Amino acid sequence: MLVAMHDVNIWSEEFGAETDTPILLIMGSMSQGVLWPDEFIDRLVAGGRRVIRYDHRDTGRSDTVDFTATPYTWDDIKNDVYRVMDAHGLDSAHLVCHSAGGTLGQFIAVERPERVSSLAVIGSSPLGGGEGAVLMRALLGEAQPEGSLPEPSPEFVAFFRALMTAAPPADRSAQIDGMVEEQRLLHGTGLPFDEDAARKLQELIHDRARDLTAVANHRMAAAAKPDFEPVGVLNQVKARTLVIEGSHEPVKPGHSAVIAEQIPGARLMILQGMGHTLPSEVHEELAAAILEHTAG
């Protein structure tokens, strides 16, 4: 369905019975909702959950925006979460979030605690922790100040440094090749990389996008309000919180432990072999953890 909003329409879909316990899946920056694997969702539905996933604005089948004419910030991306919940008739839901989606989930748990039945963040960074600045310093080769979050892996830094100066891909085939190589990097080195499955996923992402280049607007939205994230507020989170990180996380290694330290009562879980993606090898364990966390 398309969630009609005052300025942009957001694509979403749901699985399971309307009477089941609702879970809202929030994917990371510049990412489509279909990055939540169908097989993982099937396990949640089989466990009695109503599962909703959606495409952020400027990704997938959601509307793209002329950023010059109608700029927005990450406050708007965050508020899209409330709009999706409202459109599906949810006063509250269990939020299961990945990467930058975890930042949104943490912010919402502080800002509107009554709307968060529980919180699970996967491969994320602590709200207000300055993860974006850490990433940029790493890419620019600058020293990190004492107390900063851990840097991405050297392989991640090298890959994106090269990407910053590379020529744009010439056609669909070259675009998908590059997307597969990025997924290979994010997958990490802890589990075998299924290139055929990765290519099928990236072809889907490429072909269902209204405008694949529009995801760059998320970066401009961040630059438009660099102080989007409040600092020092995670101790205000009341929702039961599960923090999950892969043992081979290449983007935000060690960030999950910081989140778990700052949120009262949060539980930290390390998934062996997982990097920054959600491969089939972890679906069973990950779904079992989410089902347990969202029970009751």
Cα–Cα distance measured from residue 279 to residue 197, given in angstroms and rounded to the nearest whole number: 9
How large is the angle between the packed helices 283-293 and 38-46, nearest 10 degrees? Answer: 40
Beta-carbon contacts of residue 216 (< 8 Å; ≥ 6 apart): 30
The type of residue at 285 is: E
pLDDT in tens, 257-278: 999 999 999 999 999 999 999 9
pLDDT at 83 (0 to 100): 94
CB atoms within 10 A of CB 178: 15
Q: What is the pLDDT of residue 3?
A: 61
Domain annotation covers residue 203: no
As a residue count, the chain comes to 296
**The pLDDT of residue 164:** 86
Residue 180: both structure tokens together: 């597969």
Q: Is residue 197 part of a domain?
A: no
Asked whether the beta carbons of 207 and 199 are under 8 A apart, the reply is: no
- Kindly state whether residue 266 falls inside one of the protein's structural domains: yes
| Residue 12 within any structural domain of the chain | yes
C-alpha to C-alpha distance for 242 and 4, rounded to whole angstroms: 32
Q: What's the CA gap between 10 and 63, in Å, rounded?
A: 6
Q: Does 242 map to a domain?
A: yes
Q: Give me the pLDDT at residue 166, please.
A: 85
Q: Is 169 among the domain residues?
A: no
> What's the domain count of the chain?
1
**Would residue 181 count as lying in a domain?**
no
3-state DSSP assignment of residue 116: strand
170 found inside a domain: no
Phi-psi region of 155 (alpha: psi -120 to 50; beta: other; left: phi over 0): alpha
pTM across the whole model: 0.96
CA neighbor of 129 nearest in space, from 117, 118, 140, 121: 121
Q: Which residues, given as ranges, of the chain have pLDDT below 70?
A: 1-6
Identify the CATH number of the domain in which residue 253 sits. 3.40.50.1820
Question: CB of 189 within 8 A of CB of 211?
Answer: no
Are the C-beta atoms of residues 190 and 276 closer than 8 Å to each other?
no
The side-by-side arrangement of strands in the sheet containing 21-26 is 2-3, 10-15, 49-54, 21-26, 93-98, 116-122, 241-246, 267-271
Residue 74: domain span: 2-129+210-293
What is the pLDDT at residue 148?
A: 96
So what's the pLDDT on residue 4? 62
Rounded Cα distance between 81 and 73, Å, is: 14
